[in-house]
Structure 1
Amino acid sequence: MSVVVAVGVVVMGLVQAAPSPVPGALDPRITSIMRKPDYRHARWGLFQQNPATGTVTQDRYADQFFIPGSTAKLVSVSGTWHTLGSAHRFATPVHAVGQRHGSTLKGNLDLVAQGDLTLGGRTRRDGTVAFTTIDHTYANSIPGATLTPQDPLAGIHHLARQVHDAGIRRVDGDVVVDARLFRPDPALNPTPTPLIVNDNLIDLLTYPGAEAGAPAGLEWRPKVAPYHVTSAVRTVAAGKPSDITVSSSPDGTRIRLSGTIAAGSAPVLRVSAVKDPNAFGRTALIEALKRAGVEVRAKEIGPNPAGKLPKSYRGAPAVARYTSPRYSEYAELIFKVSHNLGANLGICLMATSTGSPDCENGFPVLASFLDRAHIDRKAVQLADGRGGNPADRTTPRALAQILTYWQHTRDAGLFRTSLPVLGVDGTLADSCRSCPSRGKVFAKTGTVAGGDALNDRLAVGAETAAGYLETRPGHFDVFFAGVNGASTPNARINGVLATGNDVADIAAHLQQQAAAGRS
């Protein structure tokens, strides 16, 4: 094996030719970032192009594979967006299967899951989907995660009230979740399910006590039987670290928190997985029906009785229906917070568009989209939708091709603004908040990091960003900036966040350089 040094980048591998000449000189601020000690053994990639003229202004390893991290979501979400359409809405019905006798249904209520990502649990009154800077799905790995204020059971409550409004007051039968839309595929991690309530998570919010030694306070949601949460978290002196861990029973219904939280600190959010989303959703609906004034004879706690599902719903009227926001709202959620479950769900939804319940059949749909969009499919490797599989790879140019494709569609503005905006929102909210490029960089970010036990530090397999640079009002270049093979000086997450800030700063410098050259 040989080490080849090219333009300040160390490349481990076979001796190879130097990269193609860089079309434009790099801003010195960018080269100073690339030369930091954390990147001594890393490889940087850059690409920048005017999609209107095709002019390339930066080209650094643009045709070599990089670990993309979550910039791979640009590929999967694009395929889902194209397949479903930006205006697509998921309509989740409840069918009355049986005979009506006045206000009594002698039969079952079947909730037919449609792959709705949030089922009303994040929907604002204006129909948009709420998100926070650090999403609750990352609460166990990234500090500072917070909750949206919406009721995670909002869609379930909506369905229950509609059943009541349809005149049903008693169900002499069962409540069943029909999850036959697609089969959960464990190769997609996190694994999508046709019915998703609160991202299939229980939220656990711990508050410090009034003084050191006091028990911590606890709030949790959504409260659905038989889930039960206990806490042994104690308050420690102000300034000491908060360290809270979560454990659960094998079925996930008994959850326990332990550890410490510092007096005077902000609440600390943790999450625990719902192990059986169908049983969880069934119980949640039975409980909601009872609150809405509909009595259900069946026991609320227990496995989902899928064996009672009919072959079809012909002759079984829909007595309730929850309709989601537009898919573009879900795409924005996926992009802004890097929502892994939602990105993987898109693979399954592309499969169902062909009538297949096998999520793996979503990949041919995605491949067909890439071909029609004139994107070099051989320059993309994907085994999931989120960008978390070890096999996932993309070239900078391939991502730029996807971004260019959207610039030539009627959804160009909608797609662009669905990405995190530098210094404003999403995963770029806390970067470059007061720099000249604030609000002028729209980009999906990606991170792949893990422990380096040998050196007691974190290894950053990838830190990437790809999106649009506003070079002048209404004009945008497409770009990629990313590094593979970085490391941090210690084993704390702050080192990874610093790498992310470096990539964001490079994007800002590219934007400023381009804007200065075209002003």
Structure 2
Amino acid sequence: MPAPAAPRSRAAGGGLARAIDAIVDAPRFAHAWWGVEVRSLRSGRIVYARDAQRNLKPASTLKLVTTAAVLDALGPDERLRTTLETSGRLDGLGRILGDAYLVGRADPDLSARFAEGRPTAAFEEMADALRQAGVRRIVGRLIGHEGLFPGERRGDDWTWNDLVWGYGAEVSALSFNDNVAELTVAPGEREGDPIVVDRAPVTAYYRVTSTAVTGPRAGTRELVLKRDFGTNIVRLSGAIALGAAPQTLTVAVEDPARYAATVFAEVLAAKGILVDGGVETSVAPLPSGLRVLASHDSPPLAEVVKVVNKVSQNLHTEMLLRLLGARVKGEGTVEMGQAAVDDFLHRLAVDSESWARQDASGLSRSDLVTPHGMVGLLAGMDRHRSAAAFRDSLPVAGVDGTLEHRLQQPPARGNVLAKTGSIRYVNALGGYVTTRSGDRLAFYAVVNHHTGPSSDSLGALDAIAAVLAAQ
């Protein structure tokens, strides 16, 4: 059944319309663009709309589209397997006589996330399997294979500044530790002391140099972090005030597949398995005749999607889009992933013809969606066979994810399940509300071009959600 057409302006809603109008018509938003739509899931009726057909930047609420499409294609129980493979013979001395391939198949959680804080847990598991099989040496090379995703590692229209930090990490089918280095920095004991830097993981793949010092308690000098493009050398300078709390910086690393293979080689060495031929990477087709020496399976896709939407994980979303292209269209590129998403949106009867999607995560400043189309997606997914996994992936107001510290008071607390989105001059919120009267609503609200404090926009979005919950 086709989705109901969105009114050009607001739908009749009495007190609800007046309450939302009062929020978006506040003088501080005089120069901003708003788009809002609210639909009853019980009746299918649009109960409020404000410029719901306008194309607006969605920021991270675009993740709703990607995660819905991948759940539709693969299902919530799918697991993604990383393998170590070789065609080399294992001789009587415990030597693999040939190269070994660490094959990435888009598991985004080769990290500490599901491993009790141990980032190398998956690699340790695979190394232990090799030891048990009698392997003590790889005579050839250890090759990190990322051929499932042959295209560009960075998103279209991402900024230079994005690429330094974890939220703009390069995309690879073989990704480790979210393709970042985590640096925890803290002041020394006395003014003038070097700052304290802890690294995770500890690996030779990246290097940290620091001239930063401990500044006075009331000092205004700030810590400066730089990583030159094309290198994995992180430089710290400036100062951290005496007595300041430790902070963790997530820095993107270059060449993720080499990062993963290097750390795996270090884990193998620690387990007494040496690699003679060094570490390389490849996107070329895998050679024939390979057999699996060890493997690691990801958590179920429902848990992978939950990470994406709860904490708004950009890298994982970009990996899922390319995985969608590989599985549905036979090519793990952004273009084929978007083509698969287009097919999904068409099947769900989502009005998305005017949209522009340059990436999967919403980090691109060229992404455009309509509130009407996004509510159509939410309504469609509420009827989908993977509806429960999709809903469970969303932040819960006042409870977890990016809404843990928002909407903490009843009736919104626990009754608003929604994805957040924020980039410069863009804030959005979209998901589901269970109202005080027992109705269930799908809603999407977004504001673009508000150049005032982002707290204004966040407060307004939360106020809209609270109004809905109170109905």
Q: TM-score, normalised by structure 1?
A: 0.81
Give the distance between the partners of 2:416 and 2:101, measured in 1 at CA: 46
Q: How does 1:184-333 map to 2 (within 5 A)?
A: 184-185=151-152, 186-188=154-156, 189=158, 190=168, 191-241=170-220, 243-299=222-278, 304=280, 306=282, 310-312=286-288, 314=289, 316-333=290-307
Between the two proteins, the alignment pairs up a number of residues equal to 451
Structure 2 counterpart of 1:484, one-letter code? N
**Residue 71 of structure 1 aligns to which amino acid in structure 2?**
T
Equivalent runs, 1:406-445 vs 2, <5 Å: 406-445=381-420
Displacement, 1:253? 2.7
With 386-395 and 346-355 compared, the bigger mean Cα shift is at: 386-395
Relative to structure 1, is the Cα distance of residues 282 and 246 closer, same or farther in structure 2, using a 3 angstrom cutoff? same
Shift of 1:255: 1.6
Alpha-carbon distance change, 390 to 307 in structure 1, aligned in 2, over 3 angstroms: closer
Residues 211 and 118 of structure 1, relative CA distance in 2, 3 Å threshold: same
The 1:396–1:252 alpha-carbon spacing in structure 2 relative to 1, beyond 3 Å, is: same
Matched with 1:54 is 44
| Distance apart, 1:30 and its partner CA | 4.2
Shift of 1:412: 2.2
Query: What residue number does 1:69 align with?
Result: 59
Q: Which moved more, 1:344-353 or 1:238-247?
A: 238-247
Is the CA contact (8 Å cut-off) linking 2:98 and 2:141 kept in structure 1? yes
2:4 alignment partner in structure 1: none
Pick aligned residue for 1:173 from 140, 144, 147:
140
Q: Distance in 1 between matches of 2:403 and 2:317?
A: 19
Counterpart Cα distance in 2 of 1:287 and 1:356:
32
Contact in 2 for aligned 1:24/1:58 (Cα 8 Å): no
Contact 2:142 2:278 in 1 (8 A): no
Match of 2:362 in 1: 387
Asked whether the equivalents of residues 347 and 360 of structure 1 are also in contact (C-alpha less than 8 Å), the reply is no
Check whether the contact 1:422–1:433 (CA below 8 A) recurs between aligned residues: yes
What is the rounded CA distance, in whole Å, between the counterparts of 2:332 and 2:308 in structure 1? 22
| Residue of structure 2 in register with 1:145 after alignment | none
* C-alpha separation in 2, matches of 1:328 and 1:290: 34
- Distance in 1 separating the partners of 2:335 and 2:321: 7
**Cα distance change, pair 242–479 in 1 and its aligned pair in 2 (3 A):** farther
Asked if residue 163 in structure 1 is aligned to residue 121 in structure 2, the reply is no
Aligned residues: CA RMSD: 2.3
String of CA shifts for 1:218-247, please: whole Å, max 9, x gaps.
Answer: 101112224221222222233545722212
In 2: Cα distance, 1:329 partner to 1:104 partner: 37
State the alpha-carbon separation in 2 of the partners of residues 419 and 405 from structure 1: 16
Q: Which residue of 1 aligns with 2:445?
A: 481
| 1:105 match | 96
Query: In the alignment, residue 501 of structure 1 is paired with which amino acid?
Result: G
Question: What's the counterpart of residue 80 of structure 1?
Answer: 70
Distance 2:339 2:346 in 1: 10
**Identity of aligned pairs, percent?**
29
CA contact (8 A) 2:99 2:139 kept: yes
Aligned AA for 1:252? T
Distance across 2 between alignment mates of 1:508 and 1:211: 48
**What secondary structure sits across from 2:72 in the alignment?**
helix
- Residue 123 of structure 1 pairs with residue 114 of structure 2: yes
Q: Which has the higher contact order (CA 8 A, sep 6+)?
A: 2
- Which piece of structure 1 moves more, 29-38 or 436-445? 29-38
- 1:92 corresponds to: 82
In the superposition, the TM-score normalised over structure 2's length comes to: 0.89
CA distance in 2, matches of 1:359, 1:30: 37
- Any conservation in 1 of the 2:145–2:283 contact (CA below 8 Å)? no
How far residue 476 of structure 1 moved from its aligned partner, in angstroms, is 2.1
Tell me the secondary structure at the aligned position of residue 322 of structure 1: strand
Q: Any conservation in 1 of the 2:190–2:242 contact (CA below 8 Å)?
A: yes
Which runs of no fewer than 5 residues in structure 1 stay unpaired?
1-16, 126-149, 450-459, 489-494, 515-519
State the match for 1:468 in structure 2.
Answer: 432
**CA pair 447-226 structure 1, distance change in 2 beyond 3 A:** closer
Using the alignment, how far apart are the partners of 1:309 and 1:443 within structure 2?
A: 41
Deviations 1:286-308 (A, max 9, x none): 111111121222235xxx15399
Which whole-Å CA distance do the structure 2 matches of 1:48 and 1:39 have between them? 20
Report deviation, 1:376.
Answer: 1.5
Distance 1:95 1:21, change over 3 A: closer
Give 3-state SS (helix, strand or coil) of 1:360's partner. helix
C-alpha distance in 2 between matches for 1:77 and 1:412: 11
Aligned-partner residue type, residue 114 of structure 1? R
Q: Deviation per CA, 1:93-145, whole angstroms, max 9, x where unpaired?
A: 101221111221111211111011121431146xxxxxxxxxxxxxxxxxxxx
AA of the residue aligned to 1:166: A
1:163–1:360 Cα change, 3 Å: same
